Amino acid sequence: MMVFQLCFGVLLLCCTVKNVQSAFRPLVVGHRGTAYLPELTLAAQAMGYAYGADMVEIDVCLSQDDQLIVIHDIYLDAVSNVAEMYPGRNRSDGLHYVIDFTLEELRLLSIHERTIPFNGTQRFPSRFPSNANVTFRLATLNESVELLLGLNQATRRRRELLIEIKKPEYHSQHNKSISSIVLATLNAYNLTKFTDPVIIQTFHIEELVHIRRNLNSELRLFALMVWNRINESSSDYDFYRSREGIGNISSVVQAIAPFYEFLVNFDSHGALLGVTNLTTWAHDYGLAVYPFTFRRDLFPGQNFEEFLDYFWHTVDIDGFITDHPDVILRYLDKKPVFSVSSSIYASYTTFLFILSVVTKTWFCNEPMLV
Ligand SMILES: *[C@@H]1O[C@H](CO)[C@@H](O)[C@H](O)[C@H]1NC(C)=O
Ligand SMILES: *[C@@H]1O[C@H](CO)[C@@H](O)[C@H](O)[C@H]1NC(C)=O
Ligand SMILES: *[C@@H]1O[C@H](CO)[C@@H](O)[C@H](O)[C@H]1NC(C)=O
Ligand SMILES: *[C@@H]1O[C@H](CO)[C@@H](O)[C@H](O)[C@H]1NC(C)=O
Ligand SMILES: *[C@@H]1O[C@H](CO)[C@@H](O)[C@H](O)[C@H]1NC(C)=O
Ligand SMILES: *[C@@H]1O[C@H](CO)[C@@H](O)[C@H](O)[C@H]1NC(C)=O
Ligand SMILES: *[C@@H]1O[C@H](CO)[C@@H](O)[C@H](O)[C@H]1NC(C)=O
Ligand SMILES: *[C@@H]1O[C@H](CO)[C@@H](O)[C@H](O)[C@H]1NC(C)=O
Ligand SMILES: *[C@@H]1O[C@H](CO)[C@@H](O)[C@H](O)[C@H]1NC(C)=O
C-alpha cells in the first residue's frame, strides 16, 4: 500500500512537472495553418493542428453577403483561379475583391499555393506546387471553428484558434462591421469568454479598443504591429510600440504580436546587434509577446535555429508565429526548458523514460494523434 502511494505521488509529481515544462516553453502559432499546403485551407489548418501548434492562426474577410471567408488578402488573385472563373469582375486595379462576390460564388473557386498576382510564379518556390491538380476550397470562419473544436474533441486536446480580423477600416468603408459579425458568429458557438479557445487579433489597434469597450467582448485580444509605412491600418505603431503606447493598450489586450524586427536591432549586413526595449515594456505591463513571422524558407540551414535561439533566450519572447510549427516544435523539444545543468536535465529525462517503461506510460502521456 505504502509503495503504491509512493508511486502514485511520484507519478503525480512527474505529470505536474511535465505540464509546467510545456507551459514554460514558448507557444507555437501555426501561421495560416502551415507552410506545407495552400495557406488557410482546412487542410493546412488541420496539418498545423496535427503538427502540434498550440494555436492555429487564420484571417477573415467579409463576402458581399456578409459571410466570413478565411483568406489573407482582401482580393482573391494570389491564391485562386478567380480571373479564369469570373472574367470582367475585376476592379480598376485589375484585382478581384472578396467583398464583390457572394459566398456561393466564392465556394466555386479553386485555391492554390500563393502566387504573385498578374505574374503567376510562386511566392515561395519550394513550397507545394501551385499548379498541382488537387482541388482546395476557401473555408468559412464557421468551418474553421468547427474544425478546431472537432479536433479538440476527437484528440482530447485543447488547442486554440487565433482569428485575425482583416482591415476593419476597409470593411467599414463598405458599411460592414466585420468585428460585430465575427463576435456574433463566435457567440453562436458559445465562444464568448476569456478562457474560451479563440482569440482575436487585428492590426487596427483602435478596433481592439472598440471590441473591448463598445462591443463588450471578454475574449482575449492581441495587438498586431508592423511598420507604419506598410499602411496596414491607420494605427500609429510608432506610438503603440513605445512605453507609453504599450501602457495605453495594456488594459485592453493580453498580448502584442509585433513584426519581429521591432524586437531586435540589426546592423547593415542583417546581423543581430541586440534587443529593443519593446519586450521588456510589454512584460512590465503584463502583456505576452508573440512576434511574426518565422519562416524557415527565409533562413536556410543552421541560421534559423540560431535565430530562434536568440528570440527565445535573449529577446525572451512568449511564442513564435510561424509557417513551420513542426520545425520550431522540434527545435524547442530538443532544448532543456529549465535553467538547470544538462546533466540534471538528462537524469530527469532518463528518470521519466524508466518510469514510463515501468508504468507502461498509462498516466503522463497525451493520446497520440497519428
Ligand atoms: C479586367 O479583366 C479583363 C478580363 O477579364 C481584362 O481584359 C482587363 O484588362 C482587366 N482590367 C484590368 C484593369 O486589369
Ligand atoms: C514574375 O516574377 C518573377 C519573380 O519576381 C520574375 O522573375 C518574372 O520575370 C516575372 N514574370 C513576369 C511574366 O512578370
Ligand atoms: C495538371 O493537369 C494538367 C492537365 O491535365 C497538366 O497539364 C499539368 O501538368 C498537371 N499538373 C501537374 C502538377 O501535374
Ligand atoms: C455560420 O454560422 C452562423 C451562426 O450559426 C450562421 O448564421 C451563418 O449562416 C453560418 N454561415 C455559414 C457560411 O455557414
Ligand atoms: C455606405 O453608406 C453610406 C450612407 O448610407 C452611403 O452613402 C454609401 O454609399 C455606402 N457605401 C457603400 C460602399 O455601400
Ligand atoms: C450554447 O449554450 C447554450 C446554453 O448553455 C446551449 O443551449 C447551446 O446548445 C450551446 N450551443 C452550442 C453551439 O454549443
Ligand atoms: C502608404 O501611403 C503613403 C501615403 O499615402 C504612400 O506614399 C505609400 O506609397 C503607401 N505605401 C504602401 C506600401 O502602400
Ligand atoms: C490612449 O490613447 C487614446 C488615443 O490617443 C486616448 O484617447 C486615451 O486616453 C489613451 N489612454 C490611456 C490609458 O493612455
Ligand atoms: C531602453 O532601456 C535602456 C536600459 O533600460 C535605457 O537605457 C534606454 O534609454 C531605453 N531606450 C528607450 C528608447 O527608452
Ligand 5 atom with the shortest distance to the CA of 175 = 1
Is pLDDT of 1 > 70?
Answer: no
Contact call for residues 212 and 246 (beta carbons, < 8 A)? no
Confidence tier at 141 by pLDDT (50, 70, 90): very high
d(CA 4, CA 68): 54
Among 133, 134, 135, 136, name the best residue to mutate to test ligand 3's pocket (greatest count of ligand atoms within 8 A of Cβ). 133
Question: What pLDDT score was predicted for residue 271?
Answer: 82
Confidence tier at 351 by pLDDT (50, 70, 90): low
Q: Is the peptide bond before 293 cis (omega within 30 degrees of 0)?
A: yes
Question: What pLDDT score was predicted for residue 303?
Answer: 86
Is pLDDT of 165 > 60?
Answer: yes
Ligand 2 contact, 120 CB (< 6 A): no
Confidence tier at 347 by pLDDT (50, 70, 90): low
Average pLDDT, the chain: 89
Nearest ligand to residue 64 Cα:
5
Question: What pLDDT score was predicted for residue 5?
Answer: 52
d(CA 205, CA 332): 31
Query: 210-237: buried (b, 16+ CB within 10 Å) or exposed (e) per residue?
Result: bbbeeeebebbbbbbbbeeeeebbebeb
Residues 153, 28, 262, 313, CA torsion sign: positive
Higher pLDDT, 23 or 84: 84
- Assigned C-alpha cell, 110: 479553386
Residues 190, 194, 197, 199, CA torsion sign: positive
Ligand 3 atom with the shortest distance to the CA of 131 = 13
Distance 78 CA to ligand 2 centre (A): 14
Residue 254 three-state SS: coil
Ligand 5 contact, 268 CB (< 6 A): no
Is pLDDT of 275 > 50?
Answer: yes
Confidence tier at 7 by pLDDT (50, 70, 90): low
Question: What pLDDT score was predicted for residue 340?
Answer: 43
Q: Closest Cα to atom 11, ligand 2: which residue? A: 119
Rounded average pLDDT over 261-265: 95
* Strand ranges inside the chain, DSSP E: 27-31, 55-62, 68-70, 139-140, 160-165, 198-202, 220-225, 255-258, 264-266, 272-275, 288-289, 319-322
For ligand 3, residues with CB inside 6 Å are: 129, 131-133
Question: What pLDDT score was predicted for residue 15?
Answer: 42
* Domains assigned to the chain: 2-68+139-363 (3.20.20.190)
Ligand 2 contact, 125 CB (< 6 A): no
Ligand 7 contact, 227 CB (< 6 A): no
Q: Closest Cα to atom 2, ligand 1: which residue? A: 88
Question: What pLDDT score was predicted for residue 37?
Answer: 98
Q: Which residue has the cell 510561424?
A: 322
Confidence tier at 17 by pLDDT (50, 70, 90): very low
Residues 23, 324, 58, 366, CA torsion sign: negative
Q: What is the pLDDT of residues 28-48, one digit of tens each?
A: 999 999 999 999 999 999 999
Q: What is the pLDDT of residues 216-253, one digit of tens each?
A: 999 999 999 999 999 999 999 999 999 999 999 999 99
Question: What pLDDT score was predicted for residue 346?
Answer: 47
Rounded average pLDDT over 46-72: 98
Contacts with 196 (C-beta within 8 Å, 6 or more apart), sequence order: 190, 219
- Assigned C-alpha cell, 159: 488547442
